[in-house]
Amino acid sequence: MKESEWLGYERTDGRKGIRNVLLVAYLVECAHHVCHEIASYYKDKEVQVIGFGGCYPNSHADKVMKQLCTHPNVGGVLLVSLGCESFNRFDLSKTIKESGRQVSTIVIQKDGGTRKAIAKGRTWIEETHLKLQNAPKVIMDIKDIVIGAICGGSDATSGISGNPAVGLTFDQLVQLNATAIFEETGEMIGFENHIASRAKTPGLAIELKKSIEKAARYYTIMGHASFAPGNADGGLSTIEEKSLGAYSKGGKSEIAGLLKPGDIPKNGGLYLLDIVPDGEPRFGFPNINDNSEISELMACGCHIILFVTGRGSVVGSAISPVIKICANPATYKRMEEDMDINAGKVITGDADLNMVSNEILNKIIETANGTQTASESLGHQEFVLSYKSFEPAGPSCLP
């Protein structure tokens, strides 16, 4: 194989995975503890917990759960139901089975309660883990990869070093026919026309502009912009100033489409993910924390997440490795164990943006080839999925 190639996991839908995770998925918060007890027994194996806590059905959660349980990094899924929740476990199980993955369902109320459900789950994990060890491998390269980008715990350095370096990396990925997805329309308010000017088609330009205008309207109604006290403590003054940095992580390439959570791009290129719900505000703040946005990026097929932080976020994620890019050199010095890339070298004059961008690209290839990221090695597997509502993306969104 070439240096830029690696062995991944072949999936029946034609996609390829860089991990072969076994998921234990709760279908209501009442089943969360049982999932945790099943998975915690296998800390040395790729057994991870995801789930949806709500009892009332939600089309967004249903779509995201289907996409995550059939994600290219996932080899099998154990569904854990309490038994009386509204989530359609039968439909989800059918979707997973049709994808060619291993799947089983435990219903706590039918299987004898907590202890018996945990024992049954662990037996299935043991048996399935052995089967996954023989999963077929296939050669992958950069064009097979989908990369997401997010920034969190931002400060005044994020838009100077970390985010622009990710933008340059995205430009490289697009040139190599990979797929790159950035988001946070609520943190691009004021950049509507800049985003629209990069659209592949006039129709897409209109949709991109509307997505940011929707975010501005949503936050106005909520009375709370996407701006935290920690951002101000880190030297940012307004959402407009924060938008300068958030916009830069999308690079300068042509934007090929506008996604909503769970939409999977069919071709390589650069895509914007709209995570702000459609319609009037119903379920509260749209990005309750960074991991809710990571779950939505993963639902669009992201194998790896690039996470820029200036203040110092420690979160990782289930399913897809998180590459932590630290924008602030002082933060990197304090929290080096949690970081993968020191983009703060741009600020100290020890590197330029192109050098850091190349370092990020090399880290992507290294991670895809099986090397653990800092958050993986520390055991971070955070996951959040909340209630939201979206209308299907129109034809202009994916021209």
Answer whether residue 336 is part of any domain. Answer: yes
Same-domain pairing of 115 and 185: no
* Res. 236: pLDDT tops 70: no
- For residue 104, what pLDDT is reported? 98
Answer whether residue 392 is part of any domain. Answer: no
The domain tally of the chain equals 2
- Residue 335's region, left for phi above 0, alpha for psi from -120 to 50, else beta, is alpha
Same-domain pairing of 129 and 154: no
Same-domain pairing of 207 and 246: yes
Answer whether residue 11 is part of any domain. Answer: yes
The two structure tokens encoding residue 45: 């194996």
Residue 221: band (very low, low, confident or very high) from pLDDT cuts 50, 70, 90: confident
Same-domain pairing of 218 and 83: no
Residue 157: band (very low, low, confident or very high) from pLDDT cuts 50, 70, 90: confident
Answer whether residue 305 is part of any domain. Answer: yes
Same-domain pairing of 81 and 177: no
* Res. 227: pLDDT tops 70: no
- For residue 72, what pLDDT is reported? 98
Amino acid residing at 240 = E
Which residues have CB under 8 Å from 212's CB, separation 6+?
A: 185, 188, 189, 191, 192, 195
Mean pLDDT of 49-56: 96
Mean pLDDT of 253-281: 96
* Res. 290: pLDDT tops 80: yes
In the chain, the percentage of residues whose pLDDT exceeds 70 is 94
For the chain, the residue count is 399
* Res. 234: pLDDT tops 60: no
Which residues have CB under 8 Å from 357's CB, separation 6+?
A: 165, 166, 168, 169, 172
Whole-angstrom Cα distance, residue 92 to residue 130? 23
Residue 243: band (very low, low, confident or very high) from pLDDT cuts 50, 70, 90: low
Mean pLDDT of 330-334: 95
- For residue 144, what pLDDT is reported? 97
Same-domain pairing of 93 and 122: yes
Compute the Cα dihedral for 383, 36, 375, 336 and give only its sign: positive
Same-domain pairing of 150 and 267: yes
Domain stop point among 122, 138, 154: 138
| Least confident range of 218-232, 238-252, 319-333 | 218-232
pLDDT tens by residue, 83-94? 999 999 999 999
Mean pLDDT of 246-267: 94
Answer whether residue 383 is part of any domain. Answer: no
Answer whether residue 393 is part of any domain. Answer: no
The two structure tokens encoding residue 176: 């190599």
Same-domain pairing of 277 and 229: yes
Whole-angstrom Cα distance, residue 90 to residue 365? 37
Same-domain pairing of 243 and 373: yes
Whole-angstrom Cα distance, residue 85 to residue 26? 11
Answer whether residue 1 is part of any domain. Answer: no
* Res. 241: pLDDT tops 80: no
Domain stop point among 138, 171, 189: 138
pLDDT tens by residue, 336-389? 999 999 999 999 999 999 999 999 999 999 999 999 999 999 999 999 999 999
Same-domain pairing of 218 and 159: yes
- For residue 225, what pLDDT is reported? 66
Return the closest-CA partner of residue 103 out of 136, 134, 81.
Answer: 81
Residue bearing tokens 């995770």? 21
- For residue 363, what pLDDT is reported? 98
**Sheet containing 269-273: which strands, arranged edge to edge?**
255-259, 269-273, 179-182, 146-151, 304-309, 322-326, 341-342
Q: What is the mean pLDDT of the chain?
A: 92
Return the closest-CA partner of residue 78 out of 31, 44, 110, 43.
Answer: 31
- For residue 233, what pLDDT is reported? 56
Same-domain pairing of 317 and 255: yes
* Res. 238: pLDDT tops 70: no
Answer whether residue 228 is part of any domain. Answer: yes
- For residue 232, what pLDDT is reported? 52
Which structural domain, as residue segments, surrounds residue 258? 142-377
User: What's 48's domain CATH number?
Assistant: 3.40.50.2300
Same-domain pairing of 245 and 314: yes
